[in-house]
């Protein structure tokens, strides 16, 4: 019998960001720890990686519990390994006790008053308040089936099933995160027309946007975009160093002293259409993670018996609840869309 407590402890440690693990007296790194979870699934299935009807009938509850722990762990590993996720996404897992509450500080500033000698009554100013916001979460599901004969003959592999489910959720989560990221407009809370610009390429327009963000935050911003977008951020004077960077990376690397960083392009789910616009430059200052991503509850796997379907197919239903929103606590972001 597989020790579910050790599995859950391992999952908790993985989600907590630990880099080394001890499972049943054996030491693991992060990658090996995920493989150890996969091995637990095989052990629960009688030592086989393929689905066997008799083993599943005897151990279904245990097997499903492991899959419900394993899939979100693999999904999170695929997310947190991304530089984009680490730079821009504030992740909360409500199943681990996190709160679905984000504190948005007030943006007001104190005004310094000039006083004549002998007068001590400057205008009274209230200490800035703050607001709290939460992210709405929604159910996302995968419904899978296969013929009972294939199921009975052990032609379905657990690893294939887990990988496909994990990848599907990863793709959907990335699509949700990128949709939130590219959906920021001047009407988004905390934004204005000063920070969201559209027009033909103009060095002065981008420079003004950079300086607005820098003036508002006191920090030097950086420019983010796809490789094609960054290549459009040309300057009238191109140094030899910039030409070398263009040759090696595909973009100049700096725009009049402001650093540039590439965001890897992605496809919209199920298509060969690029998700990110090659005409948008994102200006970001500081380390504020303004894309808020929340998962709620735990993954759930449900089986529908083959006798319920006229074609004698076996169904599995995987459910996960999450949501995403953009929130700003300061004017640390700007966007320039090249028309």
* Gap between the Cα atoms of 95 and 68, Å rounded: 12
**DSSP per-residue string spanning 106-142:** ----PPPPP--TT---PPP-PPP-EEEE----EEEEE
* Gap between the Cα atoms of 105 and 131, Å rounded: 7
Residues contacting residue 219 through CB under 8 Å, at least 6 positions apart: 285, 286, 332
Hey, what are 135's tokens?
């992210």
Reduce the DSSP state of residue 334 to 3 states and report it.
strand
Reduce the DSSP state of residue 295 to 3 states and report it.
strand
pLDDT in tens, 62-81: 888 888 888 888 888 888 87
Query: Given pLDDT bands bounded at 50, 70 and 90, which one contains residue 151?
Result: low
* Long-range own/partner contacts, residues 213-220 (CB < 8 A, 24 or more apart): 213/283, 213/284, 213/285, 213/331, 213/332, 213/333, 213/334, 214/285, 216/285, 216/330, 216/331, 216/332, 217/285, 217/286, 217/330, 217/331, 217/332, 219/285, 219/286, 219/332, 220/258, 220/285
* Gap between the Cα atoms of 34 and 23, Å rounded: 11
Asked if residues 224 and 282 have their Cβ atoms less than 8 Å apart, the reply is yes
All structural domains of the chain with their residue ranges: 184-289+330-338
The mean pLDDT of the chain is: 81
pLDDT in tens, 84-141: 898 899 998 887 778 888 876 655 445 554 545 555 555 555 555 566 788 989 999 9
Tell me the CATH class for 184-289+330-338.
Answer: alpha beta
> pTM of the full predicted structure?
0.76
Question: Residue 107's Cα: distance from chain center in Å?
Answer: 26
Task: Give φ, ψ of 297 to 5 degrees.
Answer: 70, -160
pLDDT in tens, 178-190: 999 999 988 887 7
């Amino acid at each position: 019998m597989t020790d579910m407590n050790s599995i859950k402890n391992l999952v908790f440690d993985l989600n907590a960001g630990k880099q080394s693990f001890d499972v049943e007296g054996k030491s693991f790194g992060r990658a090996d720890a995920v493989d150890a979870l996969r091995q637990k699934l095989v052990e629960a299935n009688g030592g086989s990686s393929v689905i066997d009807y008799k083993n599943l009938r005897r151990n279904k509850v245990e097997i499903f519990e492991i899959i419900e722990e394993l899939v979100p762990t693999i999904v999170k590993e695929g997310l947190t390994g991304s530089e984009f996720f680490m730079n821009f996404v504030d992740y909360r897992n409500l199943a681990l006790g996190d709160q679905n509450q984000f504190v948005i500080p007030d943006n007001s500033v104190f005004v310094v008053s000039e006083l004549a000698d002998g007068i001590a009554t400057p205008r009274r100013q209230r200490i800035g308040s703050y607001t709290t916001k939460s992210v709405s979460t929604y159910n996302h599901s995968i419904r899978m089936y296969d013929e009972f004969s294939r199921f009975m003959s052990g032609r379905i592999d657990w690893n294939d099933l887990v990988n496909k489910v994990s990848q599907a959720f990863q793709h959907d989560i990335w699509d949700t995160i990128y949709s939130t990221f590219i959906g920021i407009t001047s009407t988004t809370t905390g934004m204005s027309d000063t920070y969201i610009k559209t027009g033909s390429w103009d060095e002065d327009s981008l420079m003004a946007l950079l300086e607005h963000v820098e003036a508002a935050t006191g920090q030097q911003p950086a420019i983010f975009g796809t490789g094609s977008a960054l290549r459009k951020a040309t300057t009238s004077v191109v140094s030899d160093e910039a030409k070398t960077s263009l040759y090696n990376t595909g973009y100049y690397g700096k725009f009049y002293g402001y650093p540039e960083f590439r965001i890897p392009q992605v496809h919209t789910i199920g298509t060969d259409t690029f998700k990110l616009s090659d005409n948008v430059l994102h200006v970001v200052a500081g380390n504020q993670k303004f894309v808020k991503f929340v998962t709620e509850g735990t993954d759930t796997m449900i089986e529908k018996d083959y006798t319920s379907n006229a074609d004698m197919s076996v169904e599995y239903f995987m459910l996960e609840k999450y949501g995403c929103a953009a929130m700003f606590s300061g004017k640390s972001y700007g966007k320039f869309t090249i028309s």
